[in-house]
Amino acid sequence: MVIEVKVPSPGESITEVEIESWLVESGTFVEMDAELAEINSDKATLTVNAEQGGVIEILVEEGETVEVGQTIAKIDTAAEGAATSDAAAPAKTVDAPVETAALVTQGTGFAAGHPSPSAEKMMKEKGINPADVQGSGRDGRVTKTDVVNAKPAAKAAPAPAPKAEPKKEARPLPGLPTLSGGTERVQRREKMSSLRRKIADRLVSVKNETAMLTTFNEVDLSEVMAIRKKYKEQFKEHHGVGLGFMSFFTKAVTMALKDFPGVNAQIDGKEIVYHDYADIGIAVSSERGLVVPVIRDAHLMSLAQMEQSVLHYALKARANKITVEDMTGGTFTITNGGVFGSMLSTPIINPPQSAILGMHNIVQRPVAVNGEVKIRPIMYVALSYDHRIIDGKEAVSFLFKVKERLEDPSRMLLEI
């Protein structure tokens, strides 16, 4: 009779295992419940045992991945020695025919001198040399009884314990440095101004109430800087104000808002409010914090008028004379962290507006121009927008329009 050895299930949800190693060789006799192989799964390592004794035929090599329930070996229970157990082996030897007894005595059977798995385990535990044990089982197989009756080999004298090395003295830890100026550590508390509390509340509400996202681009300001260098003295003489970057950015923004009115809109309940004008908020730093006065009808202004408006609110903020009316309204905001050295940021929307443009510092960077590497004044720009009202495509396209007009200022003068 031939029985199949199948892979047991290591656990729920496991469908495959790996044959880690075979503990027996193909063609050898195995006893009932003997460990045949070790299998590995994601959760545990298990052993496969023989359901009955017999000669095993291994069907799967070590290291192979098999499915749970797959047949990995066969055991022929009718093969020679399959029905023999260690306990019954001596009795059957007495009743054996003369020819068989002679084979056992002479040790000429195919199993002569080979211990059973349990006998082999016992020999290792008792330190017995297999050559010193005479097998009395069928065909000369070494049984557990043979091992019990055998004398264990003399144990080798234990090796002398290595001399303990003298302990090294622990090196003392270095002391902490002594600080000058005493040990007094002072804390102080100041009441938040109403403006700071208002700013904090508004910024937190923006993060909680809008689906804010930021997109980035870079602008080559070579042309803008060339115009400023060429005409700044004449501009200041004629208009009484310096020619800065803010007027160029404001002009580029107001023109791009005409192309993308959604960036200039806001949400009011379940409605979207679009504006056919551009009231641009300019973030200005003051002693009381960041304030955002609004330049009304910026889309109608010239560069000189924009510069005059920016200067007016900057001086007013430094004198702490900005009023609530100055900061009321606004359809879009521009903030310039570059004056403080910021390279990149994600500005927060000024509610109820839907977008804000962040300017940053100008850095000389190598860029590819017509296949050549050149050093150009580059600024990173960021547009934060409310994704509830402005799609990503619209936001990216708007920022690219601003970039195009800043890199070619003549387009602003020609209004194209």
Q: List active site positions.
A: 387, 391
Neighbours of 168 (CB within 10 A): 6
CA 299/CA 284 separation, integer angstroms = 20
Give the CA distances from residue 223 to residues 30, 149, 273, 371, in Å, rounded to whole numbers and listed in that order: 90, 104, 36, 19
- If DSSP codes are grouped into helix, strand and coil, which group holds residue 328? coil
Identify whether the C-beta of residue 43 lies closer than 8 Å to the C-beta of residue 16: no
Neighbours of 101 (CB within 10 A): 13
β partners of residue 295 = 280
- The four Cα atoms 148, 149, 150, 152 give a dihedral, to 10 degrees, of 60
> Peptide bond preceding 352: is omega within 30 degrees of 0, i.e. cis?
yes
Residues in the chain: 416
- If DSSP codes are grouped into helix, strand and coil, which group holds residue 368? strand
Identify whether the C-beta of residue 26 lies closer than 8 Å to the C-beta of residue 46: no
CA 243/CA 311 separation, integer angstroms = 11
Number of H helices, E strands in the chain: 11, 19
Give the CA distances from residue 217 to residues 121, 225, 365, 369, 381, in Å, rounded to whole numbers and listed in that order: 74, 19, 14, 17, 5
CA 159/CA 247 separation, integer angstroms = 91
CA 123/CA 5 separation, integer angstroms = 28
| Tokens (6 digits) for 111 | 């199993």
